[in-house]
Structure 1
Amino acid sequence: MQKTVFIIGRQRSGTTVLRELFMKYGAFNADEAFHGDITRPHRFYGYLARRVAEEPRLVNTAHHGWLFREYLQELHRLAEGSPVVIDLKYFALNAIPPEGPFTGQVPYLVRFMEETRPPVFHIIRRNKLRMHISEEMARKTGKWSARHAGDMPPEKGRVTIDPVQTVLRIRTMIEDDRAVKLMFANVPNRREFIYETMFRPDGSFAPFVTAGAGQVLERADLDATPSNMRMNPEPVSALVENHDALAESVRAAGYGWMLD
Protein backbone atom coordinates (compact mmCIF):
# COMPACT_ATOMS: atom_id res chain seq x y z
CA MET A 1 0.00 0.00 0.00
CA GLN A 2 1.34 3.44 -0.95
CA LYS A 3 1.98 5.62 2.09
CA THR A 4 2.86 9.32 2.10
CA VAL A 5 4.10 10.87 5.35
CA PHE A 6 3.87 14.63 5.81
CA ILE A 7 6.10 16.39 8.35
CA ILE A 8 4.87 19.93 8.95
CA GLY A 9 6.72 22.75 10.70
CA ARG A 10 8.68 25.97 10.49
CA GLN A 11 12.30 26.28 9.46
CA ARG A 12 14.53 25.22 12.41
CA SER A 13 11.66 23.46 14.17
CA GLY A 14 12.96 19.88 13.99
CA THR A 15 11.39 18.60 10.78
CA THR A 16 14.72 17.44 9.33
CA VAL A 17 15.72 15.25 12.25
CA LEU A 18 12.33 13.48 12.16
CA ARG A 19 12.50 13.07 8.39
CA GLU A 20 15.96 11.55 8.78
CA LEU A 21 14.52 9.00 11.23
CA PHE A 22 12.09 7.80 8.57
CA MET A 23 14.85 7.76 5.97
CA LYS A 24 17.03 5.60 8.21
CA TYR A 25 14.44 2.86 7.84
CA GLY A 26 13.97 3.06 4.09
CA ALA A 27 11.49 5.89 3.57
CA PHE A 28 11.90 7.69 0.26
CA ASN A 29 13.07 11.26 0.81
CA ALA A 30 11.06 13.91 -1.05
CA ASP A 31 13.01 16.54 0.89
CA GLU A 32 11.45 19.99 1.41
CA ALA A 33 9.07 19.36 -1.46
CA PHE A 34 8.17 23.00 -2.09
CA HIS A 35 11.63 24.50 -1.69
CA GLY A 36 12.56 26.83 -4.55
CA ASP A 37 15.95 25.21 -5.21
CA ILE A 38 15.06 22.79 -7.99
CA THR A 39 18.60 21.47 -8.38
CA ARG A 40 17.83 18.98 -5.59
CA PRO A 41 15.98 15.88 -6.83
CA HIS A 42 12.37 14.93 -6.07
CA ARG A 43 11.06 18.41 -5.24
CA PHE A 44 7.68 19.49 -6.58
CA TYR A 45 8.89 22.59 -8.39
CA GLY A 46 11.53 20.58 -10.21
CA TYR A 47 8.82 18.18 -11.34
CA LEU A 48 6.61 21.12 -12.27
CA ALA A 49 9.40 22.72 -14.32
CA ARG A 50 9.81 19.53 -16.35
CA ARG A 51 6.06 19.24 -16.97
CA VAL A 52 5.78 22.91 -17.96
CA ALA A 53 8.65 22.41 -20.42
CA GLU A 54 6.54 19.64 -21.99
CA GLU A 55 3.24 21.55 -21.80
CA PRO A 56 3.62 25.31 -21.22
CA ARG A 57 -0.09 25.67 -20.35
CA LEU A 58 0.62 23.88 -17.06
CA VAL A 59 2.29 27.01 -15.68
CA ASN A 60 -1.26 28.10 -14.75
CA THR A 61 -1.74 27.37 -11.04
CA ALA A 62 -5.21 25.98 -11.78
CA HIS A 63 -3.42 22.80 -12.90
CA HIS A 64 -1.12 22.45 -9.91
CA GLY A 65 -3.51 20.43 -7.75
CA TRP A 66 -3.75 17.49 -10.13
CA LEU A 67 -0.06 17.91 -10.97
CA PHE A 68 0.75 17.46 -7.28
CA ARG A 69 -1.15 14.17 -7.30
CA GLU A 70 0.72 13.16 -10.45
CA TYR A 71 3.97 14.16 -8.73
CA LEU A 72 3.13 11.91 -5.77
CA GLN A 73 2.47 9.02 -8.13
CA GLU A 74 5.93 9.56 -9.61
CA LEU A 75 7.50 9.59 -6.14
CA HIS A 76 5.77 6.34 -5.21
CA ARG A 77 6.94 4.75 -8.45
CA LEU A 78 10.51 5.68 -7.49
CA ALA A 79 9.98 4.57 -3.88
CA GLU A 80 9.08 1.03 -5.00
CA GLY A 81 6.74 0.37 -2.10
CA SER A 82 8.57 2.31 0.62
CA PRO A 83 6.81 5.23 2.34
CA VAL A 84 7.41 8.66 0.83
CA VAL A 85 8.28 11.31 3.42
CA ILE A 86 7.62 14.97 2.60
CA ASP A 87 8.94 17.90 4.62
CA LEU A 88 6.36 20.67 4.29
CA LYS A 89 7.14 24.07 5.77
CA TYR A 90 4.42 26.52 6.81
CA PHE A 91 5.13 28.84 3.88
CA ALA A 92 4.31 26.01 1.45
CA LEU A 93 0.82 25.29 2.77
CA ASN A 94 -0.62 27.91 0.41
CA ALA A 95 1.60 26.93 -2.53
CA ILE A 96 -1.31 25.38 -4.44
CA PRO A 97 -4.54 27.42 -4.63
CA PRO A 98 -7.76 25.87 -3.30
CA GLU A 99 -10.14 24.40 -5.83
CA GLY A 100 -13.59 25.90 -6.33
CA PRO A 101 -15.03 28.99 -4.59
CA PHE A 102 -12.61 30.78 -2.29
CA THR A 103 -15.13 31.41 0.50
CA GLY A 104 -14.39 29.11 3.40
CA GLN A 105 -11.77 27.18 1.47
CA VAL A 106 -8.74 25.69 3.18
CA PRO A 107 -5.47 25.41 1.23
CA TYR A 108 -5.35 22.64 -1.35
CA LEU A 109 -2.63 20.68 0.45
CA VAL A 110 -4.56 20.73 3.73
CA ARG A 111 -7.72 19.56 1.95
CA PHE A 112 -5.65 16.83 0.31
CA MET A 113 -4.58 15.61 3.77
CA GLU A 114 -8.17 15.70 4.99
CA GLU A 115 -9.34 13.57 2.08
CA THR A 116 -6.47 11.09 1.72
CA ARG A 117 -5.80 10.66 5.48
CA PRO A 118 -1.99 10.25 5.37
CA PRO A 119 0.13 10.23 8.54
CA VAL A 120 0.84 13.87 9.44
CA PHE A 121 3.44 14.95 12.01
CA HIS A 122 3.12 18.59 13.05
CA ILE A 123 6.20 19.81 14.94
CA ILE A 124 5.96 22.93 17.08
CA ARG A 125 9.02 24.44 18.70
CA ARG A 126 7.89 26.62 21.58
CA ASN A 127 11.12 28.52 22.05
CA LYS A 128 10.77 30.92 19.14
CA LEU A 129 13.84 32.89 20.22
CA ARG A 130 15.98 29.79 19.80
CA MET A 131 14.44 29.21 16.38
CA HIS A 132 15.21 32.76 15.29
CA ILE A 133 18.79 32.62 16.56
CA SER A 134 19.31 29.23 14.91
CA GLU A 135 18.10 30.56 11.57
CA GLU A 136 20.30 33.65 11.79
CA MET A 137 23.29 31.48 12.71
CA ALA A 138 22.62 29.17 9.76
CA ARG A 139 22.48 32.14 7.41
CA LYS A 140 25.76 33.41 8.83
CA THR A 141 27.66 30.12 8.62
CA GLY A 142 25.92 28.53 5.64
CA LYS A 143 25.45 25.35 7.69
CA TRP A 144 21.85 24.26 8.18
CA SER A 145 22.44 20.74 9.50
CA ALA A 146 25.23 18.41 10.55
CA ARG A 147 25.48 14.64 10.78
CA HIS A 148 28.99 14.58 12.28
CA ALA A 149 31.24 16.91 14.25
CA GLY A 150 33.20 17.52 11.06
CA ASP A 151 30.08 18.98 9.45
CA MET A 152 29.81 21.69 12.09
CA PRO A 153 31.08 25.19 11.25
CA PRO A 154 34.65 25.44 12.64
CA GLU A 155 34.22 28.96 14.02
CA LYS A 156 30.63 30.11 14.00
CA GLY A 157 31.10 33.06 16.35
CA ARG A 158 28.05 35.03 17.45
CA VAL A 159 25.18 36.76 15.69
CA THR A 160 23.85 40.26 16.27
CA ILE A 161 20.07 40.46 16.08
CA ASP A 162 17.73 43.41 16.36
CA PRO A 163 15.95 43.25 19.76
CA VAL A 164 12.74 44.96 18.61
CA GLN A 165 12.42 43.00 15.37
CA THR A 166 13.14 39.78 17.25
CA VAL A 167 10.17 40.33 19.57
CA LEU A 168 7.95 41.03 16.56
CA ARG A 169 9.22 37.85 14.90
CA ILE A 170 8.47 35.81 18.03
CA ARG A 171 4.89 37.10 18.09
CA THR A 172 4.43 36.34 14.41
CA MET A 173 5.72 32.78 14.81
CA ILE A 174 3.37 32.15 17.75
CA GLU A 175 0.41 33.40 15.70
CA ASP A 176 1.50 31.21 12.79
CA ASP A 177 1.39 28.13 15.04
CA ARG A 178 -2.13 29.00 16.12
CA ALA A 179 -3.27 29.57 12.55
CA VAL A 180 -1.82 26.27 11.34
CA LYS A 181 -3.38 24.33 14.23
CA LEU A 182 -6.78 25.74 13.28
CA MET A 183 -6.09 24.93 9.64
CA PHE A 184 -5.37 21.31 10.57
CA ALA A 185 -8.37 20.91 12.88
CA ASN A 186 -10.10 18.49 10.49
CA VAL A 187 -7.00 16.58 9.38
CA PRO A 188 -7.17 12.99 10.66
CA ASN A 189 -4.07 10.98 11.55
CA ARG A 190 -2.31 14.16 12.70
CA ARG A 191 0.17 13.96 15.55
CA GLU A 192 1.48 17.08 17.26
CA PHE A 193 5.05 16.89 18.53
CA ILE A 194 6.48 19.60 20.76
CA TYR A 195 10.14 19.91 19.83
CA GLU A 196 11.30 20.55 23.40
CA THR A 197 9.82 17.18 24.50
CA MET A 198 11.09 15.13 21.54
CA PHE A 199 14.45 14.30 23.12
CA ARG A 200 15.70 12.73 26.32
CA PRO A 201 18.43 14.45 28.39
CA ASP A 202 21.06 12.30 26.64
CA GLY A 203 19.92 13.61 23.24
CA SER A 204 18.13 10.46 22.09
CA PHE A 205 14.56 10.49 20.84
CA ALA A 206 11.81 10.30 23.45
CA PRO A 207 9.79 7.05 23.30
CA PHE A 208 6.69 8.74 21.84
CA VAL A 209 8.74 9.86 18.82
CA THR A 210 10.07 6.41 17.94
CA ALA A 211 6.67 4.90 18.72
CA GLY A 212 4.89 7.31 16.37
CA ALA A 213 7.37 6.78 13.56
CA GLY A 214 7.43 3.04 14.22
CA GLN A 215 3.67 2.82 13.90
CA VAL A 216 3.86 4.34 10.42
CA LEU A 217 6.86 2.21 9.44
CA GLU A 218 5.21 -0.87 10.97
CA ARG A 219 8.20 -1.80 13.10
CA ALA A 220 9.06 -1.46 16.79
CA ASP A 221 12.86 -1.66 16.73
CA LEU A 222 13.71 1.93 15.82
CA ASP A 223 17.07 3.26 16.97
CA ALA A 224 16.49 6.28 19.23
CA THR A 225 19.76 7.96 18.23
CA PRO A 226 19.14 10.96 15.93
CA SER A 227 21.11 11.14 12.69
CA ASN A 228 21.62 14.90 13.09
CA MET A 229 23.58 16.85 15.67
CA ARG A 230 22.22 19.84 17.54
CA MET A 231 23.60 22.90 15.79
CA ASN A 232 23.38 25.47 18.60
CA PRO A 233 23.28 23.82 22.04
CA GLU A 234 25.12 26.71 23.71
CA PRO A 235 23.38 29.19 26.03
CA VAL A 236 21.74 32.13 24.28
CA SER A 237 24.34 34.41 25.88
CA ALA A 238 27.07 32.51 24.01
CA LEU A 239 25.30 32.80 20.66
CA VAL A 240 24.25 36.46 20.57
CA GLU A 241 26.69 39.37 20.50
CA ASN A 242 24.21 41.95 21.82
CA HIS A 243 22.75 39.60 24.43
CA ASP A 244 22.05 42.21 27.12
CA ALA A 245 19.98 44.44 24.83
CA LEU A 246 18.17 41.42 23.42
CA ALA A 247 17.44 40.02 26.89
CA GLU A 248 15.97 43.33 28.05
CA SER A 249 13.63 43.51 25.06
CA VAL A 250 12.58 39.86 25.26
CA ARG A 251 11.89 40.02 29.01
CA ALA A 252 9.85 43.23 28.62
CA ALA A 253 7.67 41.44 26.06
CA GLY A 254 6.99 38.54 28.43
CA TYR A 255 9.22 35.98 26.73
CA GLY A 256 12.05 35.92 29.25
CA TRP A 257 11.77 32.15 29.66
CA MET A 258 13.05 31.77 26.08
CA LEU A 259 16.46 33.06 27.21
CA ASP A 260 17.06 29.90 29.28
Structure 2
Amino acid sequence: MKAGATARTILAPVALGAAAIVLWQVLVVAFDVKPFLVPSPLGIAGAFGDTASGIVSASLATGLNALIGLLIGAVTGILVAIIANALVVLDQMLVPLVAALAVIPIVALAPIFYSMFGANVETGRQLVAAVAVFVPMYLNTLHGLRQVEPVHRDLMRAYAATPEQTNRMLLVPGAVPYVLTGLKIGSSLAVISALIAEYFGGPAKGLGRAITSSAAGSNYTVAWAYVLGAVLLGTVFYGVTAALENFSLRHRSGS
Protein backbone atom coordinates (compact mmCIF):
# COMPACT_ATOMS: atom_id res chain seq x y z
CA MET A 1 0.00 0.00 0.00
CA LYS A 2 2.78 2.36 1.00
CA ALA A 3 4.81 1.45 -2.10
CA GLY A 4 1.80 2.11 -4.31
CA ALA A 5 1.25 5.54 -2.76
CA THR A 6 4.92 6.39 -3.27
CA ALA A 7 4.75 5.26 -6.89
CA ARG A 8 1.70 7.44 -7.50
CA THR A 9 3.42 10.38 -5.87
CA ILE A 10 6.34 10.01 -8.28
CA LEU A 11 4.47 8.97 -11.41
CA ALA A 12 1.78 11.66 -11.25
CA PRO A 13 4.11 14.68 -11.68
CA VAL A 14 6.23 12.78 -14.22
CA ALA A 15 3.15 12.01 -16.33
CA LEU A 16 1.97 15.61 -16.08
CA GLY A 17 5.39 16.91 -17.09
CA ALA A 18 5.59 14.52 -20.04
CA ALA A 19 2.14 15.57 -21.22
CA ALA A 20 3.09 19.25 -20.96
CA ILE A 21 6.26 18.67 -23.02
CA VAL A 22 4.32 16.78 -25.72
CA LEU A 23 1.74 19.57 -25.88
CA TRP A 24 4.52 22.15 -26.07
CA GLN A 25 6.11 20.34 -29.01
CA VAL A 26 2.78 19.99 -30.82
CA LEU A 27 1.90 23.66 -30.41
CA VAL A 28 5.31 24.89 -31.56
CA VAL A 29 5.15 22.75 -34.70
CA ALA A 30 1.48 23.42 -35.42
CA PHE A 31 1.80 27.20 -35.16
CA ASP A 32 5.34 27.37 -36.58
CA VAL A 33 6.62 29.26 -33.53
CA LYS A 34 10.09 30.72 -34.16
CA PRO A 35 12.98 29.72 -31.88
CA PHE A 36 13.57 33.30 -30.75
CA LEU A 37 10.08 33.21 -29.24
CA VAL A 38 9.88 29.67 -27.87
CA PRO A 39 12.12 26.83 -29.12
CA SER A 40 10.70 23.34 -29.38
CA PRO A 41 11.50 20.74 -26.71
CA LEU A 42 13.24 18.60 -29.35
CA GLY A 43 15.37 21.59 -30.36
CA ILE A 44 16.27 22.28 -26.75
CA ALA A 45 17.13 18.61 -26.20
CA GLY A 46 19.39 18.66 -29.26
CA ALA A 47 21.14 21.82 -28.09
CA PHE A 48 21.48 20.32 -24.63
CA GLY A 49 23.25 17.30 -26.06
CA ASP A 50 25.52 19.43 -28.24
CA THR A 51 26.57 21.70 -25.36
CA ALA A 52 26.49 19.11 -22.58
CA SER A 53 30.08 19.70 -21.52
CA GLY A 54 29.55 23.45 -21.26
CA ILE A 55 26.31 22.97 -19.33
CA VAL A 56 28.01 20.61 -16.88
CA SER A 57 30.87 23.05 -16.36
CA ALA A 58 28.51 25.99 -15.83
CA SER A 59 26.29 23.91 -13.53
CA LEU A 60 29.28 22.99 -11.38
CA ALA A 61 30.24 26.66 -11.03
CA THR A 62 26.72 27.76 -10.12
CA GLY A 63 26.15 24.69 -7.96
CA LEU A 64 29.32 25.31 -5.94
CA ASN A 65 28.28 28.89 -5.22
CA ALA A 66 24.78 27.74 -4.28
CA LEU A 67 26.16 25.01 -2.01
CA ILE A 68 28.53 27.38 -0.20
CA GLY A 69 25.74 29.93 0.18
CA LEU A 70 23.39 27.22 1.43
CA LEU A 71 25.87 26.08 4.08
CA ILE A 72 26.66 29.63 5.23
CA GLY A 73 23.01 30.65 5.37
CA ALA A 74 21.91 27.42 7.07
CA VAL A 75 24.58 27.43 9.78
CA THR A 76 24.12 31.14 10.47
CA GLY A 77 20.33 30.85 10.55
CA ILE A 78 20.41 27.91 12.97
CA LEU A 79 22.93 29.53 15.34
CA VAL A 80 21.13 32.89 15.39
CA ALA A 81 17.79 31.15 15.99
CA ILE A 82 19.20 29.21 18.96
CA ILE A 83 20.57 32.42 20.48
CA ALA A 84 17.36 34.34 19.76
CA ASN A 85 15.30 31.59 21.38
CA ALA A 86 17.39 31.92 24.55
CA LEU A 87 17.37 35.75 24.55
CA VAL A 88 13.90 37.23 24.05
CA VAL A 89 15.33 40.74 23.70
CA LEU A 90 17.51 39.64 20.78
CA ASP A 91 14.53 37.95 19.16
CA GLN A 92 12.55 41.18 19.31
CA MET A 93 15.49 43.14 17.91
CA LEU A 94 15.87 40.73 15.00
CA VAL A 95 12.24 40.90 13.87
CA PRO A 96 12.62 44.04 11.69
CA LEU A 97 16.01 42.88 10.39
CA VAL A 98 14.70 39.49 9.29
CA ALA A 99 11.65 41.14 7.75
CA ALA A 100 13.94 43.48 5.79
CA LEU A 101 16.15 40.61 4.61
CA ALA A 102 13.07 38.70 3.45
CA VAL A 103 12.03 41.45 1.03
CA ILE A 104 15.42 42.65 -0.23
CA PRO A 105 15.57 41.89 -3.97
CA ILE A 106 18.51 39.84 -5.17
CA VAL A 107 19.06 42.29 -8.03
CA ALA A 108 19.91 44.94 -5.43
CA LEU A 109 22.23 42.77 -3.34
CA ALA A 110 24.42 41.41 -6.12
CA PRO A 111 25.92 44.73 -7.32
CA ILE A 112 26.52 45.83 -3.72
CA PHE A 113 28.41 42.66 -2.85
CA TYR A 114 30.40 42.90 -6.08
CA SER A 115 31.53 46.41 -5.16
CA MET A 116 32.40 45.28 -1.63
CA PHE A 117 34.33 42.10 -2.42
CA GLY A 118 35.28 42.60 -6.06
CA ALA A 119 33.71 41.40 -9.28
CA ASN A 120 36.52 38.98 -10.09
CA VAL A 121 35.71 36.55 -7.25
CA GLU A 122 32.69 34.39 -6.43
CA THR A 123 32.21 35.80 -2.91
CA GLY A 124 29.37 38.13 -3.89
CA ARG A 125 27.36 35.34 -5.50
CA GLN A 126 27.84 33.08 -2.51
CA LEU A 127 26.74 35.76 -0.06
CA VAL A 128 23.64 36.53 -2.12
CA ALA A 129 22.67 32.85 -1.83
CA ALA A 130 23.50 32.86 1.89
CA VAL A 131 21.22 35.84 2.56
CA ALA A 132 18.36 34.16 0.68
CA VAL A 133 18.81 30.95 2.69
CA PHE A 134 19.20 32.64 6.08
CA VAL A 135 15.59 33.82 6.39
CA PRO A 136 13.78 30.45 5.98
CA MET A 137 16.43 28.69 8.06
CA TYR A 138 16.14 31.20 10.90
CA LEU A 139 12.33 31.27 10.92
CA ASN A 140 11.89 27.49 10.67
CA THR A 141 14.52 26.76 13.31
CA LEU A 142 13.09 29.33 15.71
CA HIS A 143 9.60 27.91 15.19
CA GLY A 144 10.88 24.39 15.84
CA LEU A 145 12.68 25.40 19.02
CA ARG A 146 9.42 26.78 20.40
CA GLN A 147 7.36 23.65 19.74
CA VAL A 148 8.63 21.83 22.83
CA GLU A 149 5.90 20.87 25.28
CA PRO A 150 6.01 22.78 28.59
CA VAL A 151 6.03 19.49 30.52
CA HIS A 152 9.31 18.56 28.86
CA ARG A 153 10.85 21.89 29.84
CA ASP A 154 9.64 21.36 33.40
CA LEU A 155 11.22 17.91 33.42
CA MET A 156 14.58 19.34 32.35
CA ARG A 157 14.35 21.96 35.11
CA ALA A 158 13.44 19.25 37.62
CA TYR A 159 16.65 17.46 36.70
CA ALA A 160 18.58 20.73 37.13
CA ALA A 161 19.66 20.72 33.50
CA THR A 162 21.74 23.67 32.37
CA PRO A 163 20.58 25.83 29.43
CA GLU A 164 23.26 24.20 27.27
CA GLN A 165 22.00 20.72 28.19
CA THR A 166 18.39 21.76 27.53
CA ASN A 167 19.32 23.04 24.09
CA ARG A 168 21.43 20.02 23.20
CA MET A 169 19.16 17.29 24.56
CA LEU A 170 15.68 18.74 24.13
CA LEU A 171 15.24 21.84 21.99
CA VAL A 172 17.62 21.14 19.11
CA PRO A 173 16.52 17.49 18.54
CA GLY A 174 12.88 18.59 18.60
CA ALA A 175 13.58 21.30 16.03
CA VAL A 176 15.28 18.96 13.55
CA PRO A 177 12.19 18.41 11.32
CA TYR A 178 11.68 22.17 11.09
CA VAL A 179 15.36 22.71 10.32
CA LEU A 180 15.20 20.17 7.50
CA THR A 181 12.09 21.84 6.09
CA GLY A 182 13.93 25.16 6.11
CA LEU A 183 16.89 23.48 4.43
CA LYS A 184 14.63 22.08 1.71
CA ILE A 185 13.19 25.52 1.04
CA GLY A 186 16.60 27.15 1.21
CA SER A 187 18.15 24.72 -1.27
CA SER A 188 15.96 25.99 -4.08
CA LEU A 189 16.46 29.60 -3.03
CA ALA A 190 20.24 29.11 -3.02
CA VAL A 191 20.27 27.91 -6.63
CA ILE A 192 17.91 30.66 -7.80
CA SER A 193 19.86 33.37 -5.97
CA ALA A 194 23.26 32.21 -7.21
CA LEU A 195 21.89 31.99 -10.74
CA ILE A 196 20.35 35.47 -10.72
CA ALA A 197 23.46 37.01 -9.15
CA GLU A 198 25.43 35.87 -12.19
CA TYR A 199 23.42 38.24 -14.39
CA PHE A 200 25.03 41.28 -12.74
CA GLY A 201 28.72 40.67 -13.25
CA GLY A 202 31.40 38.55 -11.67
CA PRO A 203 33.53 35.81 -13.24
CA ALA A 204 32.39 34.78 -16.72
CA LYS A 205 31.21 31.32 -15.75
CA GLY A 206 28.05 29.81 -14.40
CA LEU A 207 24.64 29.15 -15.85
CA GLY A 208 23.39 32.72 -15.51
CA ARG A 209 26.21 34.16 -17.59
CA ALA A 210 25.87 31.35 -20.13
CA ILE A 211 22.15 32.09 -20.56
CA THR A 212 22.68 35.82 -21.07
CA SER A 213 25.63 35.29 -23.42
CA SER A 214 23.70 32.80 -25.55
CA ALA A 215 20.63 35.05 -25.72
CA ALA A 216 22.78 38.07 -26.59
CA GLY A 217 24.28 36.07 -29.47
CA SER A 218 20.79 35.11 -30.69
CA ASN A 219 21.45 31.45 -29.78
CA TYR A 220 18.04 31.16 -28.17
CA THR A 221 17.79 27.39 -28.31
CA VAL A 222 21.19 27.11 -26.61
CA ALA A 223 20.06 29.61 -23.99
CA TRP A 224 17.05 27.40 -23.27
CA ALA A 225 19.37 24.41 -23.02
CA TYR A 226 21.25 26.22 -20.25
CA VAL A 227 17.90 27.02 -18.63
CA LEU A 228 17.22 23.27 -18.67
CA GLY A 229 20.57 22.78 -16.97
CA ALA A 230 19.50 25.25 -14.27
CA VAL A 231 16.23 23.35 -13.79
CA LEU A 232 18.11 20.08 -13.37
CA LEU A 233 20.55 21.69 -10.92
CA GLY A 234 17.71 23.03 -8.80
CA THR A 235 16.00 19.64 -8.92
CA VAL A 236 19.17 17.94 -7.65
CA PHE A 237 19.48 20.38 -4.74
CA TYR A 238 15.82 20.03 -3.82
CA GLY A 239 15.87 16.24 -4.25
CA VAL A 240 18.89 15.75 -1.99
CA THR A 241 17.45 17.89 0.81
CA ALA A 242 14.01 16.29 0.45
CA ALA A 243 15.60 12.83 0.66
CA LEU A 244 17.52 13.94 3.75
CA GLU A 245 14.27 15.13 5.32
CA ASN A 246 12.45 11.87 4.51
CA PHE A 247 15.34 9.80 5.88
CA SER A 248 15.32 11.79 9.11
CA LEU A 249 11.57 11.41 9.53
CA ARG A 250 11.68 7.67 8.90
CA HIS A 251 14.57 7.31 11.36
CA ARG A 252 12.71 9.27 14.04
CA SER A 253 9.47 7.33 13.55
CA GLY A 254 11.37 4.04 13.56
CA SER A 255 13.09 4.87 16.79
* TM-score normalised over the length of structure 1: 0.25
- In proportion to residue count, which structure has more strand? 1
- In proportion to residue count, which structure has more helix? 2
Rg comparison, structure with higher value: 2
